[in-house]
Amino acid sequence: MNDKEQVINYLRERGLEPTQEDVNFFCGKARDSFAWGVVWSCARINEFHDQPTIANFVLNEADLSYGELELMPKYDLDFLRGENPSLPTGKE
């Protein structure tokens, strides 16, 4: 079952009948929030606990695309780049 099917099932179980536009919006926002949360958390692991290997392991396991990472804050990605120089620059 893909993400969109899961969203549709979730909403239908609650008595709602989502439109395709609703599902696309929800999936996009949820994925953006997930990506931001992963990058933020990994940056804090490295910033406060000096654990770049663990931070980058978690980042890799999250399976974020290069495009998703490009949209993340430069400040957070800078904390992860030492261990993973292939990360994009991010946004200012």
- Grade residue 1 by pLDDT with cuts at 50, 70 and 90: low
Percent of the chain with pLDDT over 70: 99
Per the structure block, which two tokens stand in for 1?
Answer: 């079952």
Q: For 6-43, what is each residue's pLDDT tens digit?
A: 888 888 998 988 888 878 777 777 778 889 999 999 99
Best CA proximity match to 73, nearest among 88, 84, 58:
88
Chain-centroid distance, C-alpha 2: 17
pTM over 0.75: no
Question: What DSSP character marks residue 48?
Answer: H
What's the average model confidence in pLDDT over 65-78? 92
